[in-house]
Amino acid sequence: MTAFHESEFATRRTKVDVLLQEQGWNVRDPRSVRVEIDTKQSDFRKRDYRTVAETLKNEEESAYADYLLLDANGDPLAVVEAKRSSKDPVLGQRQAEGYAEDIKQQIGKDVFIFLTNGYEIWFWNRGFGNPRSVKGFHNREALKRIQYQNLRARPLQETPLRKDIVDRPYQIEAVKRVLEGIENGKRKFLLVQATGTGKTRVAMALIDVLLQSNRAQKILFLADRKALRDQAFNEGFKVFFPDEHKSKVITYKLDKNARLFASTLQTFMECYRSFSPGDFDVIITDECHRSIYNKWKDAITYFDAIQIGLTATPADLIERDTFRFFECESKTPTVLYDFPTAVKEGYLVDFVPYGTQTHFQIEGIRPSDIPGSVKNRLAEEGIQEGELVFDGTDIERKVAVIGTNEAIVKEFWEECLKDQTGTLPAKTIFFALSKKHAKRIWEAFEKLYPQYKGRLARIIVSEDSRAQETLKEFKTESFPRVAISVDMLDTGVNVPEVCNLVFAKPVFSKIKFWQMIGRGTRHDSVCTHKEWLPGGKKEYFKIFDCWKVFEWFDVHPAGKEPEPSEALPAKIFLLRLQKLDLFLKQGNQERADRAKEQILADIRSLPRSSISVNEKSREIEQALSPRLWETVGLEPLTFLKEKMAPLMKYQENVELNRASFVLKLERLGIAILKHDKKEIERLKEEIAEAANALPPTIQAVREKASLIRKVTSRPFWNSITYDDTLLLLRELAPLMKYKRTEPRNPIILDMDDVIQQRSLIEFGPDEHPQEEYVDIYREKVEQKIHTLADSHPTILKIKDDKALTERDLRLLEKTLHGSELSITEDVLQKVYRQHNGDLVDFVRHILKLAELPDPKQRIVEAFKTFVVEKNYLNADQVNFLRALQSVFLAKHHVEYKNFFDPPLTNIGNAPIPLFTRQDLGEILELCNGLEEELFPSK
């Protein structure tokens, strides 16, 4: 009996019984499962379950449920309707609903419904949601938990948000947007929030409401990095839910009794099948754009849970598949709060890029640049002068110059943002290209600043067993001030006091670029150690761009994301299909049969425990059936290419060196069959090189020494045949796990380098502008103001806090603009990154008479307080207030009629009936009060 025509009985016995057994439902144990129960003639209150054998022949009305799942007391918990494998299981929905109604009429409550055909399973929590596809049956404990929630759940809007978790309007709106979606039956949500705006806090606020409302009892937080997992566990679960049973998932030690779980995807992938598909009510995935559509997908989609995705990746860089997974239409996430908005509203700080490059980075390296002593040493190592030609982009890849790293470190030291003492760098992250590059940067710090006795800089890489300890020191202690990292600190690390980022490597991925920028965006309001900040404040952070990264993204706005390469097993499978096609066309049945058997072996080796593979069980069975090659209207090779090849990426325990060698041999076999001499010649070198890299110290390799010598000899290749490729596949491919891989180290040049390029500011007349380094220009401006402070009439009046006339202001403007620095309001706004200041404001700031004005901060704080105090506001109302805040920030004035103008009317049914007239009066009063306080002259 095949999968093409399988009876309902066979489907139940060979498929459904097995699927039930996997989740603890023993179909042979009447205390767990009853089979073919008559829902018309059974007495469910007395637990008298009558079977088809007992009622089939009497004349009373009957209806037979294929399976009845029982709770620990023997009471009905769920019915399962099974259709034959060739039928759509949803066709049994009305039938199963009839069984559930029969049971409900007797016991007064609903039971759950499962619909299946052995390949698909649908779960229906009738009265609380629509039928939905699931990856397996829920176990007894999961069904009892959902049953409890059905009885005890409260409306989500009745639970107030905790102000100690979220107190910012955009966070409150995000939480309410998700909660309102859940109330409306939605089960997938995508939240896009800039790094530093509190994604974890939003997640914790959601968890709190769902727990308090009895809408969730088991919640899983997943991240693809330990730092993100630990942040959720230590700064989320422990802080806000101290009394909840919580667990950090470890593969070898699972605590299934916990209510809150945190895990990395890598760890969870190893153990997720230990859980039932119904074991979690909510799964929150941090940095989900990296998680959903790569190899971790199975661990996420296995569970029948509300899915909440969090990411800081800008929405325009998120892949379409991620939006599709979270059921977001038109690439619009559920919640969007981006970096520019967060900066504008005062929750994050902006950055100042500082471009700097050394002579060799710009000009490259030629033999004439290298001292004779260095060339002599390299010659002794076998490196000839002709090999010493490098482009600037080769630095730290093909060549490393000691002086280049030292020049970059010295430039950083001179130009970086310092702490409150002005003597030490503020907290800084150096992004290095490799571990060896990181060490060379560290060596530069040690050589140039020995007075700090090794405390100043530290290398933090994932391979270091003490990396987390060092990271904690960097975050909580004064030293180290500089963390040098390779990838580990690119994302998922929260050190609010970071004020300097050094891009000591090129970056081509726009996603990674923004992740790295996110390390410095935190506002000083969340900084614990103000003494580590410049002047005790963090108005912006500085990015040292040593590789023209910003310039590259100006030319390539979308960046260049790494293309997902086709998995080696998939490439091998496609080549084997190509070989089979050649044999069939040649009429070589013997070779065709052998090739076919290899292809079938590849298919049989697919891990059926994988969700992604198991979803294609029907196609796999079809591929393995002899009837595949006999079915009219079906092209077997096309079917295998389209249906089976994509599954090969799920092959387990793929050894890279062996798979690469097999791939070469499969290509060689095809080249021989096609008489492609050019391809044979190309592959000859690669295969012989791989064979030669097998270490003779290994016993298994020594046993094949004669064959290895043969493969590396010219006569072997002069007469190579297709059968020789089979011999190599059989004899040498298994040995490739021993292959030696020689690391390619760059040539080290111990010579000096100098900074050749820095960031500049333009000033002076447009037709003849001048340029100067920003920091130097700022120093000159401040020196100029201090020089004028005791003599200039207008500045004297500013110092004495006297009122200024229009004549005073014109005189000040003429003096400053007429100086050799051509000081203007516009130039000072760029230098000080203060877009609202005027000349008087800057003079007051330079003379330390006043801080630069920041009405924005007062406005943002006032709106935030208004939203927090009115906890009852829904998501659309909060969104309206945030939009109004943006309008007020721009215009400094709002009238009642403006509530009925765009952009405020673009939000739902704003302003009425979204708000009552009394509400709008209170909002107008808020705006009028701020206007009177901050802009009295208007």
Give the position of tokens 């290298």. Answer: 370
102 vs 895: CA distance, rounded Å:
62
Examine the domain organization and report whether 383 and 297 are in the same domain.
no
Residue 182 one-letter amino acid: I
Between 491 and 174, the more confident residue is 174
From 922, 918, 923, 932, select the one nearest 904 (Cα to Cα): 923
Q: What is the pLDDT of residue 6?
A: 58
3-state secondary structure of 246: strand
436 vs 721: CA distance, rounded Å:
45
Side by side, which strands form the sheet with 500-503?
351-355, 541-545, 500-503, 428-431, 482-485, 457-460
Instruction: Summarize the confidence of residues 525-542 as an average pLDDT.
Output: 94
Instruction: Summarize the confidence of residues 391-396 as an average pLDDT.
Output: 90
For 387, how many CA atoms within 13 A lie in the half-sphere containing its CB?
13
Which residues pair with residue 307 across a beta bridge? 188, 283
Q: Are 670 and 575 in contact (CB under 8 A)?
A: yes
From 301, 307, 190, 207, select the one nearest 259 (Cα to Cα): 207
| Residue 750: inside a domain | no
| Residue 193: inside a domain | yes
For residue 616, the 8-state DSSP code is T
Is the pLDDT at 7 greater than 90? The verdict is no
The distance from CA 735 to its chain's CA centroid, rounded to whole angstroms, is 37
Examine the domain organization and report whether 904 and 817 are in the same domain.
no
Which residues have a Cβ under 8 Å from the Cβ of 49 and sit 6 or more positions away?
Answer: 34, 37, 42, 68
Examine the domain organization and report whether 137 and 165 are in the same domain.
no
Q: Are 538 and 577 in contact (CB under 8 A)?
A: no
Is the pLDDT at 676 greater than 60? The verdict is yes
Query: Based on the structure, what is the number of domains in the chain?
Result: 6
Q: What is the pLDDT of residue 810?
A: 92
Categorize the per-residue pLDDT at 462 as very low, low, confident or very high, splitting at 50, 70 and 90. Answer: confident
Is the pLDDT at 3 greater than 60? The verdict is no
**Number of residues written out for the chain:** 938
809 vs 461: CA distance, rounded Å:
56
Q: Are 253 and 314 in contact (CB under 8 A)?
A: no
| Residue 752: inside a domain | no
Examine the domain organization and report whether 290 and 256 are in the same domain.
yes
Q: What is the pLDDT of residue 593?
A: 94
Is the pLDDT at 457 greater than 70? The verdict is yes
Question: Last residue of some domain: 152, 177, 205?
Answer: 152
Side by side, which strands form the sheet with 260-264?
246-248, 260-264, 219-223, 282-286, 306-311, 188-193, 335-337
250: its two tokens? 């470890």
Q: Tell me which range, 111-125, 391-405, 556-570, 857-871, is most confidently predicted by mean pLDDT.
A: 111-125
Q: Are 315 and 289 in contact (CB under 8 A)?
A: no
| Residue 3: inside a domain | no
| Residue 361: inside a domain | yes
Categorize the per-residue pLDDT at 5 as very low, low, confident or very high, splitting at 50, 70 and 90. Answer: very low
Q: Count Cβ atoms within 10 A of the Cβ of residue 756 and give its class: 0-12 exposed, 13-18 middle, 19 or more buried.
A: middle
Examine the domain organization and report whether 177 and 224 are in the same domain.
yes
Q: Cβ of 848: how many Cβ atoms within 10 Å?
A: 7
Categorize the per-residue pLDDT at 853 as very low, low, confident or very high, splitting at 50, 70 and 90. Answer: low
236: its two tokens? 């989320």
Q: What is the pLDDT of residue 471?
A: 93
Examine the domain organization and report whether 143 and 94 are in the same domain.
yes
280 vs 282: CA distance, rounded Å:
6
Q: What is the pLDDT of residue 39?
A: 96
Q: Cβ of 269: how many Cβ atoms within 10 Å?
A: 18
What crossing angle do the helices spanning 656-673 and 677-692 adopt, rounded to 10°?
A: 150
Question: Last residue of some domain: 676, 706, 738?
Answer: 738
For residue 346, the 8-state DSSP code is T
Is the pLDDT at 720 greater than 60? The verdict is yes
> Which tens digit of pLDDT belongs to each residue from 173-227?
999 999 999 999 999 999 999 999 999 999 999 999 999 999 999 999 999 888 8
Q: Cβ of 874: how many Cβ atoms within 10 Å?
A: 17
Between 583 and 14, the more confident residue is 583
138 vs 218: CA distance, rounded Å:
14
Q: Are 249 and 261 in contact (CB under 8 A)?
A: yes
Is the pLDDT at 561 greater than 70? The verdict is no
840: its two tokens? 């008087």
CATH of the domain at 314: 3.40.50.300
Q: Cβ of 172: how many Cβ atoms within 10 Å?
A: 27
Examine the domain organization and report whether 375 and 306 are in the same domain.
no
The distance from CA 474 to its chain's CA centroid, rounded to whole angstroms, is 24
| Residue 240: inside a domain | yes
Q: Cβ of 773: how many Cβ atoms within 10 Å?
A: 15
269 vs 276: CA distance, rounded Å:
14
% of the chain exceeding 70 in pLDDT:
95
Report the chain's mean pLDDT, rounded to a whole number: 90
Is the pLDDT at 937 greater than 70? The verdict is no
Domain that holds residue 253: 158-344
Q: Are 437 and 431 in contact (CB under 8 A)?
A: no
Examine the domain organization and report whether 394 and 250 are in the same domain.
no
Which residues pair with residue 395 across a beta bridge? 399
Q: What is the pLDDT of residue 4?
A: 40
| Residue 75: inside a domain | yes
Q: What is the pLDDT of residue 783?
A: 93
SS3 helix, strand, coil % of the chain, rounded to 5?
Answer: 50, 15, 35
Residue 843 one-letter amino acid: V
Q: Are 199 and 222 in contact (CB under 8 A)?
A: no
643: its two tokens? 């249906």
Between 567 and 574, the more confident residue is 574
Give the position of tokens 């109302």. Answer: 877
CATH of the domain at 75: 3.90.1570.30
> Which tens digit of pLDDT belongs to each residue from 872-902?
899 999 999 998 998 888 788 899 988 988 8
% of the chain exceeding 90 in pLDDT:
65
> Which tens digit of pLDDT belongs to each residue from 736-774?
999 877 656 788 888 888 877 666 667 777 777 777 767
Strand pairing class (500-503; 428-431):
parallel
Lowest mean pLDDT among 42-56, 235-249, 767-781: 767-781
Examine the domain organization and report whether 215 and 284 are in the same domain.
yes
Question: Last residue of some domain: 295, 323, 344?
Answer: 344
261: its two tokens? 């779980």
Q: What is the pLDDT of residue 509?
A: 87
Q: Cβ of 193: how many Cβ atoms within 10 Å?
A: 25
Instruction: Summarize the confidence of residues 35-46 as an average pLDDT.
Output: 96
Q: What are phi and psi of 911, to 5 degrees?
A: -85, -20
**pTM strictly above 0.85:** no
From 516, 486, 476, 514, select the one nearest 500 (Cα to Cα): 516
| Residue 585: inside a domain | yes
Examine the domain organization and report whether 276 and 316 are in the same domain.
yes
Cis peptide before 911 (omega within 30 of 0): yes
843: its two tokens? 């003079």
> Which tens digit of pLDDT belongs to each residue from 71-80?
999 999 999 9
3-state secondary structure of 546: coil
Q: Cβ of 615: how many Cβ atoms within 10 Å?
A: 17
Instruction: Summarize the confidence of residues 319-342 as an average pLDDT.
Output: 88
Q: Cβ of 637: how many Cβ atoms within 10 Å?
A: 14
Q: Are 474 and 401 in contact (CB under 8 A)?
A: no
Is the pLDDT at 673 greater than 80? The verdict is yes
* Dihedral sign from CA coordinates of 108, 110, 111, 114: positive
Q: What is the pLDDT of residue 819?
A: 86
Q: With b meaning 16 or more CB within 10 Å and e meaning fewer, what string describes 282-307? A: bbbbbbbbbbbbeebbbbbbbbbbbb
Examine the domain organization and report whether 139 and 226 are in the same domain.
no
Q: What is the pLDDT of residue 290?
A: 58
3-state secondary structure string, 393-439?
HHECCCEEEHHHHHHHHHHHHHHCCECCCCCCECCEEEECCCHHHHH
Examine the domain organization and report whether 923 and 836 are in the same domain.
no
Is the pLDDT at 168 greater than 90? The verdict is yes
**237 sits in which H/E element:** none
The distance from CA 280 to its chain's CA centroid, rounded to whole angstroms, is 21
Q: Are 480 and 460 in contact (CB under 8 A)?
A: no
Which residues have a Cβ under 8 Å from the Cβ of 577 and sit 6 or more positions away?
Answer: 599, 637, 640, 641, 645
**550 sits in which H/E element:** helix 549-555
Categorize the per-residue pLDDT at 431 as very low, low, confident or very high, splitting at 50, 70 and 90. Answer: very high
> Which tens digit of pLDDT belongs to each residue from 827-838?
888 777 665 578
